[in-house]
Structure 1
Amino acid sequence: MAQYYPPVGFYFKVNVIGITGQNEGSFQEVSGLNVKIGVDEVVEGGENRYVHRMPTRPKYENLVLKRGMLLGSPLITWATHNIEEFSFYPKTIVVNLMDEQSRPIATWKFINAYPVSIKISDLKAQDNAIVVETLELCFDYFDKVN
């Protein structure tokens, strides 16, 4: 019997196809699972009561991955190489939302993703915090698989 409940948003896994190794997919935050369709307004001659509003292509926000900094990370090595060499090798990224038995209950595939930004958190002597790296990726589109 199926149970209907809102899933929790804190148990998820990220897999970068061809890169992700042990601990590579452990992120503290994933954002950018958004798509929006724009509208073009078309004015018709002789019709003054309204304008036609036509849908345009979808626009996707960038995928943003945040985690504690990992030294020697193959994912960050790939991203740094892409940015520094300006030579892009897109990857497919899979984000799985997990249930309490570690089974995926929702999966999103990001197609042809490549890095556009790498950020390292500020280093502050007065804070007792880990260093956080943020990887921002652009992609063609995403599909919700299940």
Structure 2
Amino acid sequence: MSNPLFSAFRFEAKLRRSPQIIAGSNAQEDSNAIPGGEMLGDGAFQECSGLQVEMDVQDYQEGGRNDGIIRRVGWAKYTNIVLKRGMFYDRDGQVNDALWKWLQDIVSGKPVARYDGIIEVKSRDAKVVATWVFERGLPAKISGPQLNAKSGEIAIEELHIAHEGLRLVTVE
């Protein structure tokens, strides 16, 4: 008998343009006011990793206390989100270069475009059962496929996204 708590799942990752922070104020530009496409990619990823937050716990040795140390909360460290997908996935069989263009634009000196991410885990019946949200992502690394004509493997590209926050949003 299978346990319904441990069943097969699917996931979808979406990247949406982050609101622009306006220098010298606490205000943010509305992300809907950004011209052009505000979504990046189509969510067709095969793998996702990096849904991790680590606390940097600080040890404090208090004078006169010889039976142990005091532990204090330090900075939160966010692991890069890693998304992998087949490189040739458009209906016409052409490469979708949106992820590469995102990094290349930053490298060439264009204004830095940041993207917020939503990763939804879905049950067999397509019901969202968990959602992770990361904020203000930047492309830290993008890798093209390992090309080997003898292996016949699918061409996989990999995107590493550095971000400024990750949280699990509960489904109600």
Q: Same fold (TM over 0.5)?
A: yes
In structure 2, the residue corresponding to 1:78 is in which secondary structure? helix
Q: Name the CA distance, whole Å, in 1 between partners of 2:73 and 2:58.
A: 6
Q: Alignment identity in percent?
A: 28
How many residue pairs match? The answer is 141
Residue in 1 that maps onto 2:82:
64
Give TM-score scaled by structure 2 length. Answer: 0.74
Instruction: Tell me the C-alpha RMSD between the 2 structures.
Output: 2.0
Whether the 8 Å CA contact 1:96–1:107 is kept in 2: the answer is: yes
Whether the 8 Å CA contact 1:19–1:75 is kept in 2: the answer is: no
Q: Deviations over 1:86-119 (max 9, x none)?
A: 7421111100001122121111111001101001
Q: Deviations over 1:23-48 (max 9, x none)?
A: x2111100000111121111111112
Residue in 1 that maps onto 2:14:
15
Ranges in structure 1 where 5+ consecutive residues have no aligned partner: none
Q: Which of 28, 38, 45 matches 1:27? A: 45
Q: Name the CA distance, whole Å, in 2 between partners of 1:7 and 1:41.
A: 41
How big is the shift at 1:57? 2.0
> Closer, same or farther in 2 for the Cα pair 1:84/1:7, shift >3 Å?
farther
Q: Which of 38, 41, 50 matches 2:56? A: 38
Residue in 1 that maps onto 2:165:
141
| Structure 1 runs, 4 residues or longer, greater than 6 Å off | none
Residue in 1 that maps onto 2:130:
106
Ranges in structure 2 where 5+ consecutive residues have no aligned partner: 17-37, 89-94
The answer to which structure has the higher strand fraction is 1
Residue in 2 that maps onto 1:96:
120
